[in-house]
Every structure is written in C-alpha cells, then in structure tokens.
Structure 1
Amino acid sequence: MNYPIPTSLEEMIDLRQQPVDEELVAAAIAGVINIARSQGKSLEDLTAELLADDRLLDRAVRRWLSDLVSRAWQQGI
C-alpha cells in the first residue's frame, strides 16, 4: 500500500492532500478503525457515528460505508 495507515486525527486530515484512489480509501478506513479502537470505542459506537445524519453523505452511502467498515473491523483490520 502506498499510504501508511493513519494513527491519529492529524494523520487522517493529512490524507486530504492526497489524490483519492482505492488505496487511500482503504488506508482511511483502516485508520478510522484503529483510531476508534485506541479510543476504546466499540464497533457499535463507530457504526452509530457513521450512520449519524450529516451534510456530506446521503443515507444510502452512509449505510454502505457502515457495512464496509463493519466488515473490515470484523476481519481484524
């Protein structure tokens, strides 16, 4: 993978400077999972955050992203 997995919010924010591709998205998802775990959050906590209404993603995309993160979490990423 060309991108290191982020271990902090600052490193996640730094990803914004990179062109978006599959590897960047995978690194971001792995980073979100690692950061959530380091903060003592459960998969349910993270899922609730992903499904919370926001102005960036519509409901269908939030659900898809939540399912993707859940699968990655369960695979130990």
Structure 2
Amino acid sequence: MNYPISAHTPKGDVLRQKFVDEELIAAAIVGVVDVARLNGQSLEELMAEVLADDALLDSKQRHWLSEVVAVAWEQLPS
C-alpha cells in the first residue's frame, strides 16, 4: 500500500521517532481509511490491499491489521 500522509497524522519530529506509539499507529490507520475513501475505494478493495503479500508483515499480522482496518472503516464517519 502506498498512501500519502493524511491530515490526521501528527507532523514534525513525531514521524522521525525510533519508537512508534499507539496514537501514531491509530492515526496512520485513520489516514489510510480516509485516503481510500477519497479515492473511491470500497472496504473490500482496501482489505485486498491490506491482505496482499508483502515483505513487512506475515500472514497472521496482515489478517490482524485487516480486522483493525475494517473496524476503523465502520467506526469512522464517511
């Protein structure tokens, strides 16, 4: 997945931190959902991207992330 940084993502030095906290992860997920919606993607299309094989996450991690993204999609206002 290749998404630009959303307006919901904290700016500045936060992006350069060695350690990522839960708020930054949550902001990134919100940003991905926002951008997907702005691009006219459906939840199913976004889920396919999240579940696509990549070098960063293993299958179990991708499935966990897809569940988190689906919850965010449903909870966030359109």
TM bucket (normalised to shorter chain) is: 0.7 to 0.9
Please list every run of 5 or more consecutive structure 1 residues that lacks an aligned counterpart in the other structure: 1-7
Which TM-score applies when normalising by structure 2? 0.78
Q: How does 1:20-59 map to 2 (within 5 A)?
A: 20-59=20-59
Q: Which runs of 5 or more residues in structure 2 are unaligned?
A: none
CA deviations on 1:30-56 (whole Å, 9 max, x unpaired) are 000000000000000000000000111
Runs of 4+ residues deviating >4 angstroms: none
Name the structure where helix makes up a greater proportion of residues.
Answer: 1
- CA RMSD between the two structures: 1.9
Paired positions, count = 68
State which drifts further: 50-59 or 14-23. 14-23
